[in-house]
Amino acid sequence: MRIAINTNSLKALPLDAALAHIQVSGVRCVEVTTDSKVHAYECMTPNTVINMPFPWDYGLKCVCMSGGWCDFARADMDALPIQIVLAKYMGTDKIRLFLSNPHVEAHPSAKNIDTAVLSLGTAADIYPTTYLLIENHGGITATASMLYEVLLKIAKPNVGTVFDPVNYMMSGQDPVEAISTLSGWIKHVHVKDIKDDELCAVGEGTAPWKEILEELAAIGYDGCLSVEHEGAGDPIKGMLMSITTLERLLYG
DSSP labels, 63-89: EEEE----BGGGTB-TTHHHHHHHHHH
pTM (2 d.p.): 0.93
Kindly indicate the confidence band of residue 231, based on its pLDDT and cuts at 50, 70 and 90. Answer: confident
CB 8 within 8 A of CB 33: yes
Is the per-residue pLDDT at 122 higher than 60?
yes
Give me the chain's average pLDDT, please.
Answer: 89
CB 54 within 8 A of CB 32: no
- pLDDT value, residue 77: 86
Mean pLDDT over residues 199-226, rounded?
97
88 vs 178, more confident: 178
Is the per-residue pLDDT at 22 higher than 90?
yes
CB 64 within 8 A of CB 57: no
- The Cα 174–Cα 154 span in angstroms is 25
- pLDDT value, residue 45: 59
Mean pLDDT over residues 185-192, rounded?
98
Percent of the chain with pLDDT over 90: 67
Is the per-residue pLDDT at 104 higher than 90?
no
- Long-range contact list for 248-252, CB < 8 A, 24+ apart? 249/209, 249/210, 249/213, 250/1, 250/3, 250/213, 250/225
- pLDDT value, residue 102: 60
- pLDDT value, residue 38: 47
Give the angle 67-222-125 at the CA atoms, nearest 5°.
45
- pLDDT value, residue 76: 84
CATH class of 2-251: alpha beta
- pLDDT value, residue 140: 86
Is the per-residue pLDDT at 39 higher than 70?
no
Is the per-residue pLDDT at 40 higher than 60?
no
Is the per-residue pLDDT at 36 higher than 80?
no
Tell me which DSSP letter residue 136 carries.
P
Which of the residue ranges 87-91, 180-184, 210-214 would you say has the lowest mean pLDDT? 87-91
Mean pLDDT over residues 177-194, rounded?
97
Mean pLDDT over residues 8-17, rounded?
86
CA distances from 105 to 5, 109, 112, 139, 141 (A): 29, 8, 9, 5, 10
136 vs 37, more confident: 136
CA distances from 179 to 138, 195, 217, 219, 232 (A): 17, 21, 10, 8, 28
Is the per-residue pLDDT at 42 higher than 60?
no
CB 208 within 8 A of CB 175: yes
- Give start and end residues of each alpha helix (H) in 26-170: 46-50, 80-90, 110-126, 144-154, 165-170
Percent of the chain with pLDDT over 70: 90
At 130-152, the pLDDT tens digits run 999 999 988 889 899 999 999 99
Is the per-residue pLDDT at 95 higher than 50?
yes
